[in-house]
Amino acid sequence: MSVKHDTRTTVLYNAACPVCRREIDHYAKITQDTALPIDFEDLNTRETPRNWGMDADTAARRLHVRKDGIVLSGIPAFIALWQEIPRYRWLARIVSLPGIHRLAVWTYDGILAPALYAWHRRRTG
């Protein structure tokens, strides 16, 4: 018996966040226009975060990507997504370089993700 392995990449994002939604809508349009095997799931549905093994609050703190059955978050998630999109592969390669990767992780984890999450919490009360 053979096991079917899902090769689609799936992105979990916060569609209630205008910044997040705008960026993901951009990627989704490219994906649709080029028929790439990438799915996008809004964390604001009742079951979606649970299907990812986390609650909605945890999911809202950063971008998550499931690739080959592994859930990545933050910069590794962005890199996994960019690797799937031909016009962003160059960015994935650059951000994967050791020094740049550390700076990107520090910036995203220390500044951008917390700021977007705080803004999300203020908007949703």
Closest CA to 108 of 28, 20, 38: 20
What are the beta bridge partners of residue 72?
65
Mean pLDDT of the chain: 91
Residue-wise pLDDT for 9-66, tens only, equals: 999 999 988 999 999 999 999 999 999 999 999 998 878 888 899 988 899 999 999 9
What are the beta bridge partners of residue 10?
39, 66
| Measured CA angle at 114 (ends 108, 118), to 5 deg | 150
Edge-to-edge strand order for the sheet containing 38-42? Answer: 38-42, 9-13, 64-67, 70-73
The structure tokens listed for 25 are 């809508």
The residues spanned by each domain of the chain are: 9-120
